[in-house]
Each structure stands twice: as C-alpha cells, then as structure tokens.
Amino acid sequence: MRTIKIFDTTLRDGEQSPGASMNVGEKLELAKQLARLGVDVIEAGFAIASPGDFEAIKTIGGEVEGPVICSLARAKEEDIKRAWEALKDVPEKRIHTFHSTSDIHLKYQFRIDREEALKRSVRMVKLAKSFVDDVEFSPMDATRTDTGYLCDVIEAVIEAGALTVNIPDTVGYSIPVEFGALIKSIRDRVKNIDRAVISVHCHNDLGLATSNSLSAVLNGAGQIECTINGIGERAGNCSMEEVVMALRTRRDIFNADTNINTEKIMRSSRLVTKITGMSVQPNKAIVGANAFAHESGIHQDGLLKEKSTYEIIRPETIGLHKTKFVLGKHSGRHAFRTRLVELGHTLNDEEINSAFKRFKRIADHKKEIFDEDLEALVSDEFTMVPEIYSLIDLNISSGTKQKPTATLKLKVNEETIEKTEHGDGPVDAVFKSITSITDTKSKLLKYEVKAITGGTDALGEVVCSIEEDDRSVSGHGADTDIIIASAKAYINALNKLAARKK
C-alpha cells in the first residue's frame, strides 16, 4: 500500500479564486486546520506576490507544526530569495519554483526558446537548493508541452537537486487516459526519476481534475496538489476531499491511501466556506449539503434495511455526525468548553468567554444547541478582526402594510451613532442604516443566508462579500435572528475592509 502525499494549495492557488482573498489571521486559522486534517505539505503563499503573503508564510511557518510549509516562487532570483526570507526560520520548509515549458507560453508570454527555459529552470533550482534541501519544480503548462522536451527538463531539474517534480495541467486541458499516459512516459523516459517524487497539479476546466489526479496515481504519481472544496483559479483545482475519499473508498483499485484524518474533512470544508465566502454547491461530491441526503423512497427503504445498499461512505467518516442535542441554556462553561474540545476547537480563555456569552444568548432563544450551531458560533472567534464598528442595538419593523424600517445603533471607535432607514425589505433597511453610519463606499457583491440546522429556531448564518478599490472581503454572522445575523455579517466585512486598508 503506497502513501500518497497531499500537498494542499488552498492558501495559494485556492486564494487565486476571484473574491477568495484571506487575511493573515484567516490563513493561519486555516493552516492550523490543515495540520489537524493531516496534509503533508501546506503551500502557504507566494512570498513575493504581496507583503500579506510573505507575512502569512512566515507566521504559519512559526506557528503551525506538522506539515512542511512551502512558498511558491517563479524561476527568478528575486522570487527565490524572497521565498527563502519568509521560510528561513521554519523547521520543515520547501521552495516550489516553476517555469513554463509549453511552446505556447514560451513563444507568446516569455519570448524565449526551449533551451533558455531549461537553463533558467536548472539555474533557479540550484539557487533554491542552496537555501533549502526540499525543492519542488513545476514545468508550467506541462500537459501542452512536447513530451520529449518535458522529460529533458524534468531530468535536468532532478539533476540540479529537485526532490519533487510537479506536473501541472495548468489550463485543465488533459483527460484521464492521456494524463495517466503522460505520467507513465515520464516514469519510463526520465532516467533519474527514481530520485524524485512525481506530483500532479490538475485544474478543473473540463471537470476532470480529480479523475486526472487519480489516473496519475494509477501510473505512479506520489503526490497530489489540491484544495479544500476544489477552490482555485478559474474552475478551480483538484478537490482534496474528492481525491482523498476516492483513494480511501477504492483502496482495492489504487492500492494507495493518504495520511488524511478524514473525520476532519467536513469541518475544513466549512471553515473554507466561512473564510472565503465561497459556498459549496449542494450536490458537490463528499461535502455538498445533499451528498448524504436520500430522497427516493426506494433508496430510503434500502438504507433502512442495510446502509451499504445506497451508501458508499459512512457520513461519520468525513466528520458528518447526525445532529445531536448537546447543550442547552442551563449548560455551564465547563460543558461548553469540553464539547468544543471534543469537536476539535482549542480556544483560549478570552475566546471561550466571548463565545460562551454568545452561546448563552442563543440558548435563550433556541431550545436545542447542535454541534453545527456550536461550530458556527465559535468560527466567529477564529475570524475576529479589530472592531472599529460594533453593533449595539437593532430594531426592525416590517409587515405587509408597513415599510420595512431599521433603527440601528453602532459603536464607531468610541462614539455611538444611531440611524433609522427604510428599505425594500428588513435586510435592505439594516444595510442602508449601516452604510449611512459608516459612510462606506464599498459595493455589495454577494449576500447569502442559510439555516445551519433544521427547524424555524435554527441558527441562521449569513455570508456577505463587499468590494472597495479592488479589495474584496467577506463577512460572516450567525444568530437565531437572520436580520441580526445579516447586520453582523455586514459589520464584520466592514471591519475586515478597514483592517485591510490599514
């Protein structure tokens, strides 16, 4: 049984999804979750791309134990030096450098010939190797590169010291039978291939990223690059949960598995949604809301008789527990903390106190507090930003014969400001009041509301994305009252925007 390494690039390629940018605190929180999940490598960012990316790599490298921490770098001296600066104090580190190799890229984008691209790649792998032992090289657009030339580049970079050679299907063009054959050709033709791990990095433009990655495993790939929920550039990257669960469920075919603690999958997926504001489609494999829902009577009948009739994965395997009553309004801080620890959250005293206060407020309104409610509640602690704006009071009136009106009191720095506004609906009226108090110029890109657990007393979760001056952020709010949750989400987004501006 082979162990396939999971190289998670949610924080780098995943962040390249439009609107998915994350701040350093959010990246750190996600990196900690990736470590709990058991990924082998975290690509924490692209050090030269921005000061925020640099800071994130450094911070994650200093605080997250377990996985190797990696920075991306173009095959350029300044990129590699910047990656090294971000990584130098990190115990387990990797530099991942890349250069295009396809004629299309070399001719139109770089305006250099194949020989020059090969020389640059080798030179930069050697430079990276002078800083760290663990160097990965990617021939970008590999699947549209002449195979003979691709093999020459791979052989040369291994000779220069690359320990991992990553084969990217950069534009998501390949199909499984072809991609598998390419990996086989590389194994057959590159003389020193046994000195490196073959990795694959598939994009999902034709919806084939997971299939292509699995086909590569069947042909000898030892590392898969992927993202949680499959987020990433354009149609996204290979989805971590899909590829991991395919390997686990069909070990009989792949004779391979990963180090992933699959019970942490659901929580990781929810955290990514919360932080990026990118929801998962309901019918998405493994983590979609309907992935374990059975509608047809025939299926339900079979399931009641024997689960394996229509269920190939037990929901518990990915951390999807049947919602169960755990806490109520009489529960104390101790029980609250204990349950959070059982769910995998380690909050400090200050975070516990603040989450506990909100728990009590919710427990006053809601009879049963489910695990999912607790997850939503504490995730607010993880995505905390300095609060310039905080909600003091909100009053709504609306009805069939009444114009929706919101009177909202907000603390702005140390001042309390109150405004009353009308709107097309109560949420609109609330947003107008907040806009008027904060005088924000931001544009609302997205507003989404969902119920976390069933029932009319469910905790409502709101995610909204706003944009100003090309900066986009998403805010999150949870409350039994969706109007309050909406206000919280908008205020959270405005606080993040203010922090980003600073």
Contacts to ligand KIV by CB under 6 A: 13, 72, 98, 138, 140, 166, 168, 170, 201, 203
Per DSSP, what are the bridge partners of residue 467? 443, 472
Per DSSP, what are the bridge partners of residue 446? 465
The one-character DSSP state at 459 is: P
Angle of helix 240-249 relative to helix 209-218, nearest 10 degrees, comes to: 40
Nearest distance from C-beta of residue 311 to ligand KIV, angstroms: 35
**Which range of residues in 10-18, 50-58, 301-309, 383-391 is near Zn ion by CB under 5 A?**
10-18
**Does residue 8 belong to the site contacting Zn ion (CB under 5 A)?**
no
- Binding at 359: pick from ligand KIV, Zn ion, none (beta carbon under 5-8 Å per type): none
Nearest distance from C-beta of residue 255 to ligand KIV, angstroms: 27
Nearest distance from C-beta of residue 201 to ligand KIV, angstroms: 5
- Binding at 98: pick from ligand KIV, Zn ion, none (beta carbon under 5-8 Å per type): ligand KIV
- Binding at 138: pick from Zn ion, ligand KIV, none (beta carbon under 5-8 Å per type): ligand KIV
Cβ-based nearer residue to ligand KIV, 234 or 314 = 234
Nearest distance from C-beta of residue 157 to ligand KIV, angstroms: 13
**How far from 436 is each of 391, 392, 431, 486, 497, CA to CA, in Å?**
14, 16, 8, 16, 16
Nearest distance from C-beta of residue 9 to Zn ion, angstroms: 7
Read off the tokens for 124.
């930069």
The one-character DSSP state at 321 is: P
Read off the tokens for 1.
């049984």
Are 197 and 164 in contact by the 8 Å Cβ rule? The answer is yes
CA–CA separation, 495 and 82 (whole Å): 30
Cβ-based nearer residue to ligand KIV, 173 or 254 = 173
Cβ-based nearer residue to ligand KIV, 225 or 479 = 225
Backbone dihedral angles phi then psi of residue 49, each to the nearest 5 degrees: -65, -35
**Contact residues for 365 (Cβ-Cβ < 8 A; gap 6+):** 457, 480, 481
Selected from 4, 6, 12, 13, the binder of Zn ion by CB under 5 A is 13
CA–CA separation, 276 and 475 (whole Å): 9
Nearest distance from C-beta of residue 225 to Zn ion, angstroms: 8
CA nearest to 265, candidates 39, 113, 15, 3: 39
- Binding at 61: pick from Zn ion, ligand KIV, none (beta carbon under 5-8 Å per type): none
Read off the tokens for 420.
């009353």
Cβ-based nearer residue to ligand KIV, 13 or 241 = 13
Nearest distance from C-beta of residue 169 to ligand KIV, angstroms: 8
- Binding at 140: pick from ligand KIV, Zn ion, none (beta carbon under 5-8 Å per type): ligand KIV
- Binding at 356: pick from ligand KIV, Zn ion, none (beta carbon under 5-8 Å per type): none
Q: Residue for token digits 């009739």?
A: 309
Provide long-range contacts, Cβ within 8 A and 24+ apart, for 106-112: none
The one-character DSSP state at 388 is: S
CA–CA separation, 339 and 250 (whole Å): 33
Cβ-based nearer residue to ligand KIV, 229 or 465 = 229
Backbone dihedral angles phi then psi of residue 21, each to the nearest 5 degrees: -65, 145
Cβ-based nearer residue to ligand KIV, 68 or 72 = 72
**Which range of residues in 7-15, 259-267, 300-308, 378-386 is near Zn ion by CB under 5 A?**
7-15
**Which range of residues in 9-17, 207-215, 475-483, 491-499 is near Zn ion by CB under 5 A?**
9-17
**Which range of residues in 8-16, 117-125, 280-288, 477-485 is near Zn ion by CB under 5 A?**
8-16
Cβ-based nearer residue to Zn ion, 200 or 286 = 200
CB-closest chain residue to Zn ion: 13
Of 357-416, which residues contact Zn ion (CB under 5 A)? none
Cβ-based nearer residue to Zn ion, 13 or 136 = 13
* Three-state DSSP state, 480: coil
Largest Cα separation within the chain, whole Å, is: 79
Identify the H or E element spanning 398. strand 389-399
Binding site for Zn ion (CB under 5 A): 13
